Amino acid sequence: MGITTQSWLQLLEQHKAIAVIRCHDTDRAYQMAHAVAAGGMNLIEITWNSQHPAKLITRLRAKLPHCTIGAGTILNLNQLEEAVSAGAQFAFAPHFNADLLHLASNTYKIPFIPGVFSPTEMVNAWQNGASVVKVFPIKSLGGSDYIKCLQAPLNQIAVIPSGGITVDNAKTMIDAGAIAVAISSNLFPKKAIALSDWSSISIRAKNLLDKLQTP
């Protein structure tokens, strides 16, 4: 049974952050996922340009049953099919493709979050059935100010900013109207990964969640 639109929106509102893992070392990616889960993060995305993403998703689904594990950087139908077969519970794309959205929503019954850049793309995705869109790359678009501008006329469309989210600016995105944020490199400092310092990443994840839950 897939995740319904309503339950997906509830997950996003509850957790407010998705940990995005992009790594060319499967074992390190596995440890990265466990580290953020230990810090309290329940929504974890494995990008499809990571090493062996399908195997990693299957493994994480088995080892982190309390987490919701999805796929990211899905570019075509074959990748979406592989991700679903591996157990992905949601899927993100850096772009909007109506065929991908319809297949995920109607056939596989999983949330599919297309990437958008402009209000036109945002409304087009929404009119094709997207309940949530990824605004990407938010860093290049003006950060939280851009979210505020979008939410004024289009607050019926839930948005997840991505591409430039940090532990320090994530709360400003939520305050501007985002339902959640997708955070990648800033959550995983290169030095910590090089030293296999997973506890510091767990602390970083907890710090992020604490900030997001602050009124």
Within a domain: 159:
yes
Within a domain: 215:
no
Q: What is the mean pLDDT of residues 138-151?
A: 96
Within a domain: 197:
yes
Q: What is the pLDDT of residue 2?
A: 72
Within a domain: 146:
yes
Within a domain: 194:
yes
Within a domain: 29:
yes
Within a domain: 74:
yes
Q: What is the pLDDT of residue 154?
A: 96
pTM (two decimals): 0.97
Q: What is the pLDDT of residue 215?
A: 83
- Structural domain boundaries, residue 56: 5-210
Out of 55, 81, 109, 134, the active site residue is 134
- Quote the CA–CA distance of 31 and 142 in Å, as a whole number: 33
45 assigned to active site: yes
13 assigned to active site: no
Overall domain count for the chain: 1
Q: Burial letters for 33-55: b for 16+ Cβ neighbours within 10 Å, e otherwise? A: bbbbbbbebbbbbbbbebeebbe
Summarize pLDDT for 3-57 with one digit per residue, the tens: 889 999 999 999 999 999 999 999 999 999 999 999 999 999 999 999 999 999 9
Within a domain: 28:
yes
CATH number, domain containing residue 66: 3.20.20.70
